[in-house]
């Protein structure tokens, strides 16, 4: 975790804090940003981390639901089990256009916001809930991708899937 934290801090330090704030305020109002960051705490970061993970997990549940609907529909159409299995696996693995991308971008935006605000508030990344959640669940490489994408256009955050 410590190694991941050092990498995260160096990536954030390489780009001014204002860059991330500018990216965030392209998608939320300045008033919302100020309200979010004005009284930043570990509790607020934990709430963002939990919300982001819930959104990412919801996408998986959505895929499972669509796979089940696909399977049942094809069963009603008297398709073979291999055809149903093939279709269900495609549904589980193909990107969910728009909805899936928006879910991922939203969750990743929450995570990168938490990480950057924790750094700006001089909180150790090892105590940042958004940071530790990504490292614990997805690994150090995902954190690098997330922070790098957070410095660019946030629409690109949709490409940082959980797989």
Query: Per the domain annotation, does 151 fall within a domain?
Result: yes
**Residue 15 CB burial class (10 angstroms; 0-12, 13-18, ≥19):** middle
Find tokens 């159409």 and name the residue.
77
Query: Per the domain annotation, does 161 fall within a domain?
Result: no
In this predicted model, what pLDDT tens digit does every residue of 30-55 receive, in sequence order? Answer: 888 888 888 888 899 999 999 999 99
Predicted local distance difference test score (pLDDT) of residue 161: 63
Number of structural domains in the chain = 1
Query: Per the domain annotation, does 118 fall within a domain?
Result: yes
Q: Supply the range of the domain harboring residue 121.
A: 2-155
Cα(64)–Cα(83) distance, integer angstroms: 17
Query: Per the domain annotation, does 35 fall within a domain?
Result: yes
Predicted local distance difference test score (pLDDT) of residue 101: 76
In this predicted model, what pLDDT tens digit does every residue of 80-119 receive, in sequence order? Answer: 999 999 999 998 888 777 677 788 888 888 998 898 888 8
Query: Per the domain annotation, does 39 fall within a domain?
Result: yes
**Which residues, at least 6 apart from 45, have a Cβ–Cβ distance to it below 8 Å?**
114, 117, 118, 123, 128, 129, 130
| Average predicted confidence (pLDDT) for the chain | 82
Model-level pTM?
A: 0.72
Mean pLDDT of 131-144: 86
């Amino acid at each position: 975790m410590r190694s991941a934290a050092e990498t995260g801090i160096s990536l954030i330090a390489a780009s001014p804090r204002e860059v991330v704030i500018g990216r965030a305020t392209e998608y939320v109002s300045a008033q919302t940003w100020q309200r979010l960051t004005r009284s930043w705490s570990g509790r607020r970061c934990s709430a963002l981390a939990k919300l982001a993970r819930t959104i990412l997990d919801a996408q998986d549940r959505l895929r499972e639901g669509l796979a089940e609907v696909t399977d049942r529909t094809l069963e009603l159409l008297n398709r073979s089990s291999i055809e149903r299995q093939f279709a269900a696996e495609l549904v589980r693995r193909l990107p969910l256009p728009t909805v899936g991308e928006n879910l991922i971008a939203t969750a990743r935006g929450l995570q990168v916001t938490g990480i950057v605000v924790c750094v700006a508030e001089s909180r150790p990344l090892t105590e940042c809930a958004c940071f530790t959640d990504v490292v614990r669940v997805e690994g150090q490489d995902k954190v690098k991708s997330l922070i790098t994408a957070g410095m660019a256009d946030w629409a690109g955050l949709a490409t940082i899937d959980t797989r």
